[in-house]
């Protein structure tokens, strides 16, 4: 029998450092899983339905299975090995003099993380800044342009409210003119989306902000085509990639955009409070940082990271999250998320009163979808799912539609989606007032 000393000797350093925070066996298993998955045979389509593969993925997480988290679009849990890495880096900072560990040891280490992210997502490391979330990265871009009263900025009614608030603040302070373009009726019409945005570009337009994947219902916008169309007219495009990075299988070079920002605590499952900002090299010098940087940094991507003293632990642990993501494989991951969406959505669409606000046509959406039930308030349904059955979703309310947004992730089990579907079907049959009986009740 293997002794405790021998067992500890073979554990990854991350698991040993986890101490009482994580069970050593769970952290060690998480570290092995990412290596084993890459060698798993089969096409992305075959693996999407291979529950043995996804069982191995799920075992790398420490999620509470008495709950069902179908709001991973808000933020996702991190695998055990990522949690262990955060603790390891925090422990190292507190064991040594923090001023030395933080600025002399850990801050230089973030360069390795920058390089790994750039290689994985298709850009130059000198074009990539580490931020705290997508909002920070996008606001760097939204506030970083020199604008004058009367200058126009374009966005859509499918974009994130905080980004609309950002433009409206500049409107109040400086007199710029935000234009919010309606995309109603264009969920399955990429040509129409490009044309509609193009119609609103004028000689006073200074920038366009679009979402790559719409947070409301998962709609994929034709970002690369919008970027190309706007560039022909001399207008830069800021791409909100909060819901596309590590969800869709693509490279930043595919979009050919000048600005792109994302949260890494969503689909990459990195530590909470981590994100990235991409700025094309020739655009860095013309974009002001949110917090002041010295003039000598004008052309340096790191000027966007000048936020004062902050812990590096979460940023360094991004490397573990990225390794786990690549271990699964971006194509396999996207295909699985698509399979999970269809698994629950197609069952619910068998009922006449269910309305799906997300297209199931290829290329129109992926793992995020939004549905509603005729005659049932979506907020009340989402609350009932959580209060009665501990199934977490989120409510979407928009002038064009309202519904319940559902976002499973790679650790989600089919049995959990079955429970979710069962609960919704109970509401379809009995309404929200009756207690649920039967399976899962």
The pLDDT of residue 35 is 64
pLDDT value at residue 33: 66
- At residue 157, φ and ψ (nearest 5 deg) are -75, 5
pLDDT single digits (tens) 253-304: 999 999 999 999 999 999 999 999 999 999 999 999 999 999 999 999 999 9
The span from the CA of 370 to the CA of 235, in Å, is 32
The pLDDT, as a whole number, for residue 286 is 97
Q: Cα–Cα distance between 188 and 193 in angstroms, integer?
A: 9
* pLDDT in the model for residue 28: 62
Residue 76 pLDDT > 60: yes
The CA distance from 56 to 172, in Å, is: 52
Residue 140 has pLDDT above 60, yes or no: yes
Contact 246, 323 (CB under 8 A): no
SS3 189: coil
pLDDT of residue 295: 96
Sort 302 into a burial class: Cβ within 10 Å, 0-12 / 13-18 / 19+.
middle
Give alpha helix (H) positions in 74-130: 80-95, 98-100, 107-121
Across 141-158, average pLDDT: 98
Q: What is the pLDDT of residues 356-413, one digit of tens each?
A: 999 999 999 999 999 999 999 999 999 999 999 999 999 999 999 999 999 999 999 9
Q: Can you read off the two tokens belonging to residue 282?
A: 């020739």
Across all residues in the chain, what is the average pLDDT? 92
Whole-number percent of the chain with pLDDT over 90: 87
Beta bridge partners of residue 211, listed in sequence order: 240
Check pLDDT > 70 for residue 441. Answer: no
> Helices 51-58 & 24-38, crossing angle to 10 degrees?
140
Instruction: List the domains of the chain with CATH numbers.
Output: 40-69+329-441 (3.90.1150.10), 100-322 (3.40.640.10)
Take residue 84 and report the two structure tokens written for it. Answer: 């262990």
Q: Is 95 in a helix, a strand, or coil?
A: helix
How far is Cα 368 from Cα 215, in angstroms, rounded to an integer?
Answer: 8
DSSP code of residue 296: G
| Dist CA 339 CA 54 (whole Å) | 12
Asked whether residue 336 carries a pLDDT value surpassing 60, the answer given is: yes
The model carries a pTM of 0.90
Predicted local confidence at residue 40, as pLDDT: 87
Task: Answer whether residue 145 shows pLDDT above 50.
Answer: yes
H helix or E strand, kind and range, residue 277: strand 275-279
| Whether the predicted pLDDT of 214 surpasses 90 | yes
Instruction: Round to whole Å and give the CA distance between 150 and 46.
Output: 54
Q: Spell out the residues 6+ positions from residue 386 whose beta carbon is closer than 8 angstroms to its own.
A: 392, 393
Q: What is the DSSP letter of 31?
A: H
pLDDT of residue 21: 45
* Distance from C-alpha of 251 to C-alpha of 432, rounded to nearest angstrom: 44
Q: Are strands 205-211 and 177-181 parallel, antiparallel or unpaired?
A: unpaired
Q: How many residues does the chain have?
A: 441
CA–CA gap between residue 255 and residue 261 (Å, rounded): 13
Model confidence at 9, pLDDT cuts 50, 70, 90, reads very low
CB 138 within 8 A of CB 261: yes
CB burial of 131-150 (b: ≥16 within 10 Å; e: otherwise) equals bbbbbbbbbbbbbbbebeee
Rg of the chain's alpha carbons, rounded to an integer?
23
Helix, strand, coil % in the chain, rounded to nearest 5: 45, 15, 40
Looking at residue 31, what is its pLDDT? 60
- Say if CB 402 and CB 370 are below 8 A apart: no
Q: Compare 10 and 177 and report the one with higher pLDDT.
A: 177
Looking at the predicted structure, is the pLDDT value of residue 414 above 70?
A: yes
Q: What is the pLDDT of residue 434?
A: 63
Give the residue-averaged pLDDT of 146-155: 98
Interval 298-326 mean pLDDT = 96
């Amino acid at each position: 029998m293997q002794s405790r000393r021998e067992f500890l000797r073979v554990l990854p350093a991350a698991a040993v450092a986890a101490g009482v925070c994580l069970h050593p066996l769970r952290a060690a298993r998480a570290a092995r899983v990412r290596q084993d998955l890459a060698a798993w045979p089969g096409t992305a389509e075959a693996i999407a339905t291979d529950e043995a593969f996804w069982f191995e993925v799920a075992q790398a997480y420490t999620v509470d299975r008495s709950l069902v988290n179908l709001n991973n679009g808000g933020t996702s849990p991190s695998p055990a090995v990522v949690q262990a890495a955060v603790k390891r880096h925090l422990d190292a900072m507190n064991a040594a003099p923090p001023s030395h560990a933080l600025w002399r040891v850990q801050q230089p280490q973030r360069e390795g993380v920058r390089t790994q992210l750039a290689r994985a997502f298709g850009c130059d490391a000198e074009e990539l800044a580490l931020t705290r979330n997508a909002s920070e990265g996008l606001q760097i871009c939204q506030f970083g342009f020199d604008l004058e009263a009367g200058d126009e900025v374009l966005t859509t009614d499918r974009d994130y409210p905080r980004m609309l608030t950002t433009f409206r603040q500049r409107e109040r302070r400086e007199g710029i003119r935000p234009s919010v373009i309606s995309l109603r009726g264009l969920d399955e019409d990429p040509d129409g989306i490009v044309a509609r945005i193009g119609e609103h570009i004028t000689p006073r337009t200074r920038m366009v902000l679009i979402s790559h994947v719409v947070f409301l219902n998962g709609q994929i916008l034709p970002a690369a085509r919008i970027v190309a169309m706007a560039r022909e007219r001399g207008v830069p495009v800021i791409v909100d990639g909060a819901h596309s990075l590590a969800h869709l299988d693509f490279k930043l070079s595919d979009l050919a955009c000048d600005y792109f920002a994302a949260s890494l605590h969503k689909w990459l499952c990195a530590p909470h409070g981590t994100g990235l900002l991409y700025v094309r090299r020739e655009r860095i010098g013309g974009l002001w940082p949110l917090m002041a940087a010295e003039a000598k940094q004008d052309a340096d991507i790191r000027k966007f990271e000048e936020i004062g003293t902050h812990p590096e632990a979460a940023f360094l642990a991004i490397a573990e999250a990225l390794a786990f993501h690549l271990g699964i494989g971006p194509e396999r991951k996207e295909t699985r998320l698509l399979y999970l969406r269809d698994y629950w959505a197609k069952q619910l669409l068998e009922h006449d009163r269910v309305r799906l606000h997300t297209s199931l046509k290829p290329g129109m959406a992926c793992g995020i979808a939004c549905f509603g039930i005729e005659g049932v308030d979506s907020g009340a349904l989402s609350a009932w799912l959580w209060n009665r059955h501990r199934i977490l979703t989120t409510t979407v309310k928009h002038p064009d539609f309202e519904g319940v947004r559902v976002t499973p992730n790679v650790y989600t089990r089919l049995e959990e989606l079955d429970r979710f579907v069962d609960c919704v079907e109970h509401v379809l049959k009995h309404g929200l007032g009756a207690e649920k009986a039967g399976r899962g009740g």
